[in-house]
Amino acid sequence: MEEIRSKDNALVKELVKLGSSRKYRREEGRFLLEGARLCGDAVKNGVVPQIGLLTEKAMERYPQAREILACCRRGILISDGVAQKLSDTQSPQGVFCVCEIPPQSLTLSPTGRYLAMCSLQDPGNVGTILRTAEALGIDGIVATADCPDFYSPKVLRAAMGGVLRMPFTLVQDGLEAVDTLRAAGLRVYAAALSDTAVEITRLSLGAGCAMAIGNEGNGLPPQVVERCDAAAIIPMAGGAESLNAATAAALCIWEMVRR
């Protein structure tokens, strides 16, 4: 099997860039996936990675290591030092795959349930929301282009595979997100803190609707809220601070799927 032991190897440098640069990922049309679980799930779901990179320790430790390697077009044994260089974590598992970015795949249905993510900032939040969206079973996500890249290491990790399984599409901004959803015949609600917002449990959030959520610090821009069918608020207790963005999104998603 091919081996790379030097951190100065040209491919290693390329893959580090793939992990750190959104622009480079777009140009190359591929991304770096890390972790035994994530890589194992990807190949189980039919992904054929261009390259699989594993350490000797990972080959011994993870039962799925051989299956991952068998599914990759090219397999490379890497040293612990190279794994550390490629990794986004402090204690890397030593399992990496280079995968093609699939074409965007969201088809909106007028009876579906969708989430619009507008100008979120934190990759951990975005990943957690993708994980929740998949687990609770909504039909897709519309995200503005200024959200953290779904194929960045932090989003991929927090999403626990949700990036690879959740249909999504990117749009320019919040207004385009709302217009796209409404054009598909969906009711669109803005998650907002405004005084005129309706308590979320008072809205009919079943099939054929979407919730738009905004930036962690600033929420949705007023013009986006106005473009929605109504603004929804999660009622909170008196002296309370606020909800974490991923928690607020989870409650919005839950209210769309709750039976």
Q: Which of 47-55, 74-82, 125-133, 186-194 is the region at the interface with a second copy (rule: CB under 8 A)?
A: 125-133
Considering the complex, what minimum distance in angstroms separates the CB of residue 121 from a second copy? Answer: 15
What is the per-residue DSSP string for 19-77? HH-HHHHHHHTEEEEESHHHHHHHHHTT---SEEEEEHHHHHH-TTHHHHHHHSSEEEE
Q: What residues between 229 and 258 interact with a second copy by CB under 8 A?
A: 234-244, 246-247, 250-251, 254, 258
33-52 residues near a second copy, rule: CB under 8 A:
41
Q: Distance between CA atoms of 159 and 155, rounded to whole angstroms?
A: 6
Closest CA to 178 of 227, 136, 223, 114: 227
Binding mask 162-201 for a second copy (x = CB under 8 A): x--x---------------------------------x-x
Pick the closer one to a second copy by CB: 127 or 174: 127
How far is the C-alpha of 161 from the C-alpha of 44, rounded, in Å?
11
Q: How many other CB atoms sit within 10 Å of the CB of residue 74? A: 14
Residue 96 tokens, joined: 């990496």
Q: Which is nearer to a second copy, 83 or 166 (CB)?
A: 166
Under the rule (CB under 8 A), what is the footprint of a second copy? 41, 128, 131-132, 134-137, 160-162, 165, 199, 201, 234-244, 246-247, 250-251, 254, 258-259
